[in-house]
Amino acid sequence: MPADPVYLPVLVGAVKNYKPGIAYQRDDEGENISAKNPFYNELTGIYWAWKNLKDVDAVGLVHYRRYFYVKKPFTLENVAKEADYVKLLEKHDVILPTKRNYYIESNYDHYVHAHPAEPLDKTREILAKDYPDYLPAFDMMMKRRSAHMFNMFVMKKAQFDAYCEFIFGVLNKLEAQIDISGYSVQDQRVYGYISERLMDVWLYTTKPDYTEMTWGQLGGEKKLTKGINLIKRKLGIGKKQTHF
């Protein structure tokens, strides 16, 4: 973990994954959905923050070796610090990672080439019925070839609360309408995957003042391998694999 005190380490899925000696904040304390971590991924940490961090000005999330950076190389010493976030939040309500570009396929195709299509299609139905104001942004984002991914962000508290109301409202309805019992362990993480596609839907509908920040991954990425797998899935070759 970075040394800067702005970062609060949270052990997600703690109700099932707890190991002695991990002195992190647990996501199964207070109001929580910790038990849903195998299906909601890092969202159980976001939910914990939403329901339990009250006296804060802003809330953010970085995770799984991905951080916001102020300069290269991508090392713990160069991750963004509290002063960097404060400076940006003086002018903006939301900080997001620079967009991920997929180049050869749309956001919709990128998803369905790696995962079952039903949850994404069902999400559109839920938006059409219960969140119609968000439907134009969803349709637009499904056609685009880039998006703000990874569920990484920093938001002022008011925007964070509004964002959580939206994504957890949609996912709660989605959970009641699909059966994932036959999915692979990887594809059962569906609610985390869907939430990534909802970030820009929320962003372009509610239109908060936002800015982007460089992100990087400790240890780097296997970009060549990911690129080859992306092309294989595009051509329908081999087994579907998760790809961000």
Residue 228 pLDDT level (bands cut at 50, 70, 90): very low
Mean local confidence (pLDDT), 160-167: 98
170-195 residue pLDDT tens:
999 999 999 999 999 999 999 999 99
Under 8 Å between Cβ of 174 and 125: no
Signed CA dihedral, 19, 183, 41, 130: sign only: negative
**Closest alpha carbon to 196 in 120, 130, 125:** 120
Q: Could you give the percent of the chain with pLDDT greater than 90?
A: 85
- Residue 192's CB is within 10 A of a number of other CB atoms, namely 20
| The pLDDT value given to residue 195 | 98
Per-chain mean pLDDT for the chain: 92
Residue 113 near residue 234 (C-beta atoms within 8 A): yes
Q: Which residues contact 192 (CB under 8 A, 6 or more apart)?
A: 39, 40, 41, 42, 43, 151
Answer for the pair 196, 147: CB distance below 8 angstroms, yes or no.
Answer: yes
The per-residue pLDDT for 235 is 53
Instruction: Select the more confidently predicted residue: 236 or 184.
Output: 184
Average pLDDT rounded to a whole number, residues 77-89: 98
CA distance 78 to 75: 5
**Residue 99 DSSP label:** P
Give yes or no for residue 232 having a pLDDT over 60.
Answer: no
pLDDT given at position 234:
46
Assess whether pLDDT exceeds 60 at residue 242: no
Convert the pLDDT of each residue in 99-139 to its tens digit: 999 999 999 999 999 999 999 999 999 999 999 999 999 99
pLDDT exceeds 70 at position 236: no
Predicted TM-score (pTM) of the model is: 0.90
In the predicted structure, residue 227 carries a pLDDT above the cut 50: no
In this predicted structure, what is the pLDDT of residue 210? 98
As a whole number, mean pLDDT of residues 2-31 equals: 92
